[in-house]
Amino acid sequence: MTKGVQNVSQVQIKVDNLNLWYGEKQALKNISMQIPKNSVTALIGPSGCGKSTFLRCLNRMNDLVKNCRIEGKISIEEKDIYGPDVDVVDLRKKVGMVFQKPNPFPMSIFDNVAYGPRIHGADRKDLDSIVEQALRSAAIWEETSDRLKSPALSLSGGQQQRLCIARTLAVKPRTILFDEPTSALDPISTARIEDLIMDLKKDYTIVIVTHNMQQAARISDYTGFFLMGKLIEFGQTRQIFQNPQEQSTEDYITGRFG
Amino acid sequence: MFSKNSKEKGIESVLFFISTLTVLILFLICIFLFRDSLLLFKETSLLDFLTGKFWYPTSVNKQFGLLPLLLGSLLVTAGSILFSVPLGIASAIYISELAHPKVADFLKPFIEILAGIPSVVFGFFGLVVLVPFMQKTLNLPTGQTALTGSIMLGIMALPTIITISEDAISSVPSTLRQGSLALGATQWQTIYKVIIPASLSGISAAVMLGIGRAIGETMTLMMVTGNAAIIPSFPGGFFGPVRTMTATIALEMGEVPQGSAHFHALFAVGSVLFIITFIINLIADSIKKKYRFKVG
Ligand SMILES: Nc1ncnc2c1ncn2[C@@H]1O[C@H](COP(=O)(O)OP(=O)(O)OP(=O)(O)O)[C@@H](O)[C@H]1O
Ligand SMILES: [Mg+2]
């Protein structure tokens, strides 16, 4: 059963019967969905329902968890990302991730952004322009252009998060995963990042986990509702918010639980 | 009842007394050390002491030149750093980043035991095993060399370097690791481009403390370095005997007449040693403070 979006022009991420266990405990149950290209997809649901776990499947960050076992199939751009010939480094280049807490490296602003391109062998002479472009795309160029050499940790929390977005963009991914990127930020920084995300969908496919219903409604085109490891409902955001098919979705969205 | 009762106050003042006692003892040691050292300079000038090339404390023409002892200590210490630092850091990285947690838990107690072995036991091992080995494999007239001392010291400094570096590396937040891996970095790239730079100050503190441990070591060196007070050449000096400052004090203090120039000279050597370790600890401390600030 694929819960889904009809008449999707192009599918970026296709998930089929995904099951995931942490040791004995099953954290994701039989999840299938198709995430359209160049869209913002929001994942919502109460704490512990498996949103982050699901997100980490998409760039194989769960590989780092020792006793994590996965069944099912995930294809990104029609390639099975758990297939035998997959290079995880290459996958993570194409599928970037921005975390809940801003996590800039303890180095300069410039070096943070240049980190990815450098490890992937970018030409030294191209670095300046790659960094500038990434900072511009992440809407933080104006604030940092005159202090690229200063430590990234001297930026404010909101600036640090946009720097982390720039750092991800510099690797030129095609999909970007956001795990509650604004939950540690003030309202103004949050608004800036929301604007940025809506802007980025021109060029990227975006999946964002959020606890903020208004945020999901504001910025996403599609919404998936998770509950206890299951994907209860997935569809166009407007439809999910105005006319949910499942009682639990409605209860969650209207704040009756979770 | 929120006010402290008299019992608590009593405990507090006892603890205060005990903690000030250590400061007092340190202060007294300094006074005695420096007072007796200064008496040397009635017979020799400070310059002659610091730059003198000969340590002939008992010959007719007494000479109290620090250089052979100072250079002996520095050579042995430098040699020990040369191999204990890379080895120690590599082990710390392995234990905190690469090893399976079970393997790490298995290894750690051994490192702690290594730290607890008395230095005379190390010296004994060095004398019986390493000294003959060095003599044979390097074809030297004697296996009691600076290099032998360096190797023993390096082994002894390893636990300090490993434990403190490992501490620094483990305290790098895992969000940084994940951030790097999520950008497509390999584990090795993550280790040497993010983790090590982020824990560099902690690692440097570990190295400084390792040096501090090495330079103050006495017994082991006395047993394996041959104790010849000659200025070592570099790097050839590694293959001959040397005498360190610590060994000199330990060897000669028992036989020297109290109040003699020789007696005061040994105190002066002790003062130099004290100043060196004090400075090293100061550096280690300031590095550690900086690093706490950065991570915290
Ligand atoms: N590394 C792990 N090892 C074992 N269990 C885990 C691990 N990570 C998550 N879990 C468990 O899996 C379930 C889903 O966790 P997950 O972090 O995906 O939830 P979430 O929906 O992101 O929650 P939140 O909204 O609080 O971030 C939880 O019950 C959690 O305890
Ligand atoms: Mg989460």
A50 lines ligand 1 (CB under 6 A): yes
- Residue B289, pLDDT above cutoff 70: yes
pLDDT of residue B38: 93
pLDDT of residue B292: 57
- How do residues B53-100 score in pLDDT, each as one tens digit? 999 998 888 899 999 999 999 999 999 999 899 999 999 999 999 998
- How do residues B28-47 score in pLDDT, each as one tens digit? 999 999 999 999 999 899 99
Nearest to B190 by CA among A95, A66, A64: A64
Nearest to A169 by CA among B182, B186, B197: B182
Average pLDDT over residues B193-199: 93
Q: What CA–CA distance (Å, rounded) separates A88 from A61? A: 9
pLDDT of residue A27: 96
* CA dihedral sign of residues B170, B91, B81, B123: positive
Q: What CA–CA distance (Å, rounded) separates B293 from B205? A: 14
pLDDT of residue A66: 86
Question: What percentage of chain B reaches a pLDDT higher than 90?
Answer: 78
Of A61, A89, A164, Cβ closest to residue B186: A89
* DSSP reduced 3-state for A231: strand
Residues of B in contact with A106 (CB under 8 A): 176, 197-198, 294
pLDDT of residue B260: 92
**Ligand positioned closest to the Cα atom of A61:** 1
- Residue B288, pLDDT above cutoff 90: no
A65 lines ligand 1 (CB under 6 A): yes
- Residue B10, pLDDT above cutoff 80: yes
Which two three-digit tokens encode residue A238? 């407007």
Instruction: Please tell me the number of Cα atoms within 13 Å of B248 on its side-chain side.
Output: 33
* DSSP reduced 3-state for A237: helix
As a whole number of Å, the CA-based R_g of chain A is 18
Question: How far does residue A27's CA lie from ligand 1's centre (Å)?
Answer: 7
Confidence category of residue B295, pLDDT binned at 50, 70, 90: very low
Interface test with A, best of B103, B174, B181, B183 (most A CBs within 10 A): B183
Contact B144, B247 (CB under 8 A): no
Confidence category of residue B285, pLDDT binned at 50, 70, 90: confident
Residues of B in contact with A91 (CB under 8 A): 184
- Residue B294, pLDDT above cutoff 80: no
Q: Where are the alpha helices (DSSP H) in A77-140?
A: 88-94, 109-119, 127-137
How many Cβ pairs within 8 Å bridge chains A and B? 63
Q: What CA–CA distance (Å, rounded) separates B258 from B7? A: 48
Return phi, psi of residue B258, to 5°: -60, 140
CA distances from A94 to A4, A168, A171, A205, B217 (A): 24, 10, 8, 11, 55
Residue with tokens 């010291």: B153
- How do residues B157-183 score in pLDDT, each as one tens digit? 999 999 999 999 999 999 999 999 999
Check CB contact under 8 Å for A96 and B198: no
Residues B120/B121/B127/B128 CA torsion (nearest 10 deg): 150
Which two three-digit tokens encode residue A103? 């996590």
Residues of A in contact with B182 (CB under 8 A): 59, 61, 92, 96-97, 99, 168
Question: How far does residue B167's CA lie from ligand 1's centre (Å)?
Answer: 27
Residues of B in contact with A171 (CB under 8 A): 183-184
The two most distant CA atoms of chain A are separated, in Å, by: 57
Q: Which residues of A touch B (CB under 8 A)?
A: 59, 61, 64, 89-93, 96-97, 99, 101, 103-107, 115-116, 119-120, 164, 167-168, 171
pLDDT of residue B296: 36
Q: What is the pLDDT along chain A (258 residues), one digit of tens a residue?
A: 445 555 556 899 999 999 999 999 999 999 999 999 999 999 999 999 999 999 999 999 999 898 999 999 999 999 999 999 999 999 999 999 999 999 999 999 999 999 999 999 999 999 999 999 999 999 999 999 999 999 999 999 999 999 999 999 999 999 999 999 999 888 998 999 999 999 999 999 999 999 999 999 999 999 999 999 999 999 999 999 999 999 999 999 988 765
A201 lines ligand 1 (CB under 6 A): no
A52 lines ligand 1 (CB under 6 A): yes
Q: What CA–CA distance (Å, rounded) separates B176 from B277? A: 35
- Residue B257, pLDDT above cutoff 60: yes
Question: How far does residue A52's CA lie from ligand 1's centre (Å)?
Answer: 7
Q: What is the pTM of this model?
A: 0.83
Nearest to B76 by CA among B235, B207, B204: B235
**Ligand positioned closest to the Cα atom of A68:** 1
Of A107, A167, A168, Cβ closest to residue B197: A107
**Ligand positioned closest to the Cα atom of A46:** 1
